Amino acid sequence: MGRRVNLATIDDKPIAVAAGTSAGVPLALLVANPRNPREGLGDLEDLRSIATRQLQPCLVVTAKGYLALWPEDAERVGDAQYVVVNGCRRLAAALEFGRSDLLVVHDETVASTRGELLGAAVEENIGRKDFDIIEEARAVEAVVAEYPSSREAAKARGWTHGWVSQRRALLKLSPEMQAMLRAGELAVRDARRLARVPEVEQVAAWRAEQDAAAERKKERAEQRIPPTPPLVTAVTTPQGAPTLEPSTPTEQAVVTAVTTAADGSMPGLPWDSPIALDRMLRTHMSEENRRALGKLLLNG
C-alpha cells in the first residue's frame, strides 16, 4: 500500500496524496462516486464505529482524472479534490456519525478508462447481501457498454462470459418480474429462463409454471398417501332378529359384519331417505331395539 501520510489536520486545503500512498483527507475534499452502481447506501448503522476507527481505507482518484472521463459530472463533483470510487458507504457514515476525515488510498490508474473505473466500483459490491441482483445487472451492463464487446469486458474484469451474459439477461425481465426477483420471490434460475420469454408474456408464463408445479406437488402427495381401507364393525344381534345386543344373556347371538366407510358412514343403508330407513328398521328390528338404536345414535 505504501507509506501513510497523516494530513487530517489540514482543513479544506489542497492535499496531494501521492499515488500508492494513503492519507487522512478531510471530508470536505471528498465526494462520492457519481457513477456508484448502488442505487442506495442502505442502513449505515453497521458502520457507526467509523466515528472512532476506520478499519479499511477508501479508494480514490483525483477529481481532475474523474472529470476527464465524465466532464458532464462537473456539477456533481463540485469543489472536491478526490472522488471516492470504493468506500462511498464509509464516506456517508463518516458524515453521519461525526468523523472529520477519512483514510484514503490514491490509485489514479483506476481512472485510466471508464470501463476500469466502473469495473472497480462494481467489484467492490459484488456478493454483498445489500447489493441486490438488479443493481448488479445494471452495473455490469454499464461496464460492458464501455468495451467493444461483452467478451472483452469479461476478460478485462476477470469475469466469466457466462456470468456476464446471465446478469445482462435479467434486464430483459419485465418491471414486475424484476421486482419479484429483488424481493426474493423469484429464483435467479427461473428469472433467467423467463428472460427468454417476450416481456408481455412473462407474468402469464410464470403463473402457468407455478400452477403446473403446484399440480405436480399435489399428485406426488396423493401417490405417497395410501387409500384408507373400509372399516368393519361387528354388530351383535340375537338370532333371527337384527339388534344391537342380545335381549337376554341366554339368547344365542349372531355377529353380523357391517362395512362402513372411513368416515364412519354405512354406505349400504338409505341414510338419505328417512322413510325408507324407517321401513327397513321396522322390517328387521323390534320396537325395543329400534328405541335402543335411537338412543345409541343420539348419544353417539
Per domain, the residue ranges of the chain are 4-198, 231-299
The radius of gyration computed from the CA coordinates of the chain, to the nearest angstrom, equals: 39
**Cβ 195 vs Cβ 170: under 8 Å:** yes
pTM greater than the 0.75 cutoff: no
CA distances from 65 to 15, 62, 80, 205 (A): 15, 5, 12, 48
Average confidence (pLDDT) over 145-151: 94
Kindly state the cell numbers that stand for 298.
343420539
Check whether 268 has a pLDDT greater than 50.
yes
Average pLDDT of the residues of the chain? 79
Q: Which tens digit of pLDDT belongs to each residue from 175-202?
A: 999 999 988 888 888 999 999 999 999 9
Q: Which residue has the cell 451492463?
A: 141
pLDDT of the residue at 64: 96
- Residues 111, 69: contact at Cβ < 8 Å? yes
Average pLDDT of 267-280?
A: 67
pLDDT band of 219, cuts 50, 70, 90: confident
DSSP H/E element including 258? strand 253-260
Q: Is the pLDDT of residue 277 over 90?
A: no
Q: Which long-range contacts (CB under 8 A, 24 or more apart) does 46-49 make?
A: 47/89, 47/90, 47/93, 47/97, 48/93, 48/97
Pairwise pLDDT comparison (276 vs 101), residue with the higher score: 101
Determine the pLDDT at residue 267: 54
Q: Report whether pLDDT(108) > 70.
A: yes
HEC assignment per residue over 141-172:
HHHHCCCCCHHHHHHHHCCCHHHHHHHHHHHH
Please give the average per-residue pLDDT across 31-57, as a whole number: 88
Residue 22 has pLDDT above 80, yes or no: no
The CATH number corresponding to 4-198 among 3.40.50.12240, 1.10.569.10, 3.55.50.30, 1.10.10.2830 equals 1.10.10.2830
Mean of pLDDT values over 273-297: 74
Read off the C-alpha cell for 133: 441482483
> How many other β-carbons are positioned within 10 Å of the β-carbon of residue 279?
12
